Each structure stands twice: as C-alpha cells, then as structure tokens.
Amino acid sequence: MKILFLSNRFETTGGGGEVSRAHYNALSKIANEIHVVSLRSAKDKADDANKSNEGITRLYSRKSKRNKEILKSIDEYKPDLIWLGDVDAKVGSVIKDVKCKFHDIQIFVFHHVMDSLKWSLSAISFYSFDVFRTIRRTLRALLAYSKWLREIRIFSKIADANILLNDRDKILYRQYCNKEPDLILPVCYVDKSEIKTLNTDDNKFNLLFVGAGGSNTGPNVKGIKWFAREVLPKLNKKAVLNIVGKNMDKMKNEPEFKNNPRVKITGFVESLDDFYNMADLIVVPVFVGGGMMTKVCEALMYGKNILSTGHALNGYEGLDDCRCDTAEEFITKINAMIENPERKKFNPAMRKLYEDKYSIKAMENMLRKFMREKGFDV
C-alpha cells in the first residue's frame, strides 16, 4: 500500500504540527511506502535548505501553480491513498481535480478544526478600539469563513473518508454538511518522553503549564493569567507555577507575573523532559480554543497528574475526575493534593491511559481497522 501524505503543518511547531506528525507515524506503520508533500510558504525556503529531502517533496509555489505540482506528484508517485492532513485554503481546492483525474485513488480528509468562524472572529477583539480596522478584519474573516465552509461541504461529498478529532467537531460537521463523519480520530502523540526521577525541593509543589503565547487575546495567555490572578494566591504557599512555551517569556512583565516570586516563565525549549519530570501537577486552565488540546495528551505521555477545564478535556476519555471549571474547584483540588502525603509525581494510570488511547500504537490500530473497512488489505 502506498500513501501520499499531503500537509501544510507537517514541519510546523505547535499542536497542529504534532498532530500531523502523529498521523504520519501511525500511517507509516501501516503502509508499505509513504511519501510526504509538505506545503510551505516562500519564506520557509531558506530554513528548509539544510533539511533532508528523503521521502518528502516541498512545494513553495502559489496556489494555481501549486495545485498543478500536487497533481504531478500524484501522477509520479501513483498512491493507493491520499491523506489530506489539514483542511484549509492551501489544500482545499485541489481535491476536485484529484478525483477527476485519478478515479481509483481513495482520499481521506482530516479536518483539524471545525469552528473556523469562531476562531476567525475571536482575533478581531484586539482591534475593537479601531472601528474601521475592526470592520475590515470582520469582513475578511467572514469571507474566509465562507470559503472554508464551501470547501468543507465539497470534501463531505467527494472525499472517501472525512475524519474529525472529537464529538464537539462532530456536532458542527453535522450542522455544516448534514451528514455524519466517517471516523473520529483523537489526538495522539509520538512518545518523546524520557521519564525519570529528579531531586526536587520537598517544600515546593510544582505546578506546570505548557503552551505557546505571544498574544494577550490567545487562549493560553488568557487562561494562565486568569489562573495566576484567581487561583495561585489562594493556594498553599508550597505551590509554585512554572510556565513554559514559545513566546511565553514575552509575558514576564504582565501584572499577573511581574515581581511574583511564585511564578517562573520560560520561553521555547528544545526538550520538556525536565519540566515534566519535576512537575507535581499539570494545570490546563484553558476555556476557549478549537480541536483538542495536545498539551493534555503530552501530560498523559509523561504520566502526570492533571487538572483541567472541561473545555480542554474535550475529546479525551477517562479524565472526568481531573475536571475543574471554576477557581474554587482548582483551589480545593490542588490544596488537597499538596496536603496528601501519599502523592507521587508519576501516575502510572495516566501513562497507561496514554498507551491505550492516545499513543501512536493506539492510532495505528484504529486506522488499520478503519482502512480494512474501506477495502484496504492492511
């Protein structure tokens, strides 16, 4: 079986990139051959110069030429299956051309996020003081949403399989397309963890939040600022908060964090091993955002105790006891954990949940079963 893996997030950082690479890893265990077509922007070309080209084709051209290059790659590679790893303006318009030219090739489309309108409009609030700029950006967002919705409906009719992340997206998909998706495929993570015991200060209870920052209106920044303001001051004095993530170091001078001895902020790091191994508890106070929170899956991978909003747990099973939707719930549960003399940094039940439900092996098994139902001998 040969798979052509088409994605514009395969080489990006952040949750979308992690999801794309997890799909690739699971599919590579099923297929005899798999080739990546990575859709990149022109500004990425210099950064890609020293990367390996083995098993990957990078396309930097604009839309009209790029679609021709995608069709050329399909014609040369002759796959049995095309995996459309992300659905947006960069890949949407090519699907009709593919189906017209290559009738026997199946196309599986993975819809990374279904609440496109909400996300497009949420970015506008930052400019609310500028009426004309707000109107202009609102119109652009509505136009982008209209185009996205049109393409989603095309996928629903033409693709051999439409795949979603969770039940929240499933409800939206029904509303948009008036049909059921073919598969719910939750977030899975490539296991990069190196779990070990570190010597830590017993007089500290280490809380960890992992997530990218950069915008005061972003869900990660809004959520962790709320936590630092409403929850942290009311916790046992042993509790300290470690915040790690790309651009999070730009938040150091925010009122919630500045001159706060209980908060330590670190920007982008190559490895999160030490941060996770040191943590007593992972907190995910995120109240908005699309798709599934990959930070929850990552915490499970490290076998960590988690407390999270219900929104951030959407799509995950077996974590009902980890849910906190108010400051009072976070405060009560965290203080109880601090006072528990039997607490451990590593929770084997969380690690087992990762292995059973959210590991690459779990995704491989799910995809293998689904592909057999679609007629593939795998």
Sign of torsion over alpha carbons 118, 124, 129, 131: negative
Would you give the distance in Å from CA 286 to the centre of its chain?
13
HSE of 267, CA atoms in CB hemisphere, 13 A: 6
In whole angstroms, what is the distance from residue 274 CA to residue 235 CA? 24
159 contacts 109 by C-beta, under 8 angstroms: yes
Q: Domains, the chain, ranges and CATH?
A: 2-190+359-373 (3.40.50.2000), 205-357 (3.40.50.2000)
In whole angstroms, what is the distance from residue 302 CA to residue 195 CA? 6
Would you give the distance in Å from CA 124 to the centre of its chain?
22
Q: What is the pLDDT of residue 103?
A: 84
Q: What is the pLDDT of residue 163?
A: 95
Per-residue pLDDT of the chain in tens (378 residues, 90 and over written 9)? 999 999 888 888 778 888 899 999 999 999 999 999 988 877 787 778 778 777 788 888 776 677 888 888 899 999 999 998 875 545 666 778 888 888 889 999 998 777 655 555 555 554 455 667 777 777 877 787 777 788 888 888 889 999 999 988 899 899 889 999 999 999 998 898 999 887 777 789 999 999 988 766 688 999 999 999 999 999 999 999 999 999 999 889 899 998 899 999 999 999 999 999 999 999 999 998 777 889 999 999 999 999 999 999 999 999 999 999 999 999 999 999 999 988 899 999 999 999 999 999 999 999 999 999 999 998
Q: Sheet with 263-266: list strands edge to edge.
A: 263-266, 239-244, 205-210, 281-284, 306-308
- Global pTM value: 0.86
Structure letter (DSSP) for residue 46: H
Strands 81-84 and 56-59: unpaired
Q: Tell me the backbone φ, ψ of residue 44, rounded to 5 degrees.
A: -85, -10
Structure letter (DSSP) for residue 286: -
Q: What is the pLDDT of residue 121?
A: 54
Q: What is the pLDDT of residue 126?
A: 46
Amino acid found at 267 = G
HSE of 333, CA atoms in CB hemisphere, 13 A: 20
Helices (H), 261-358: 273-278, 294-301, 327-338, 348-353
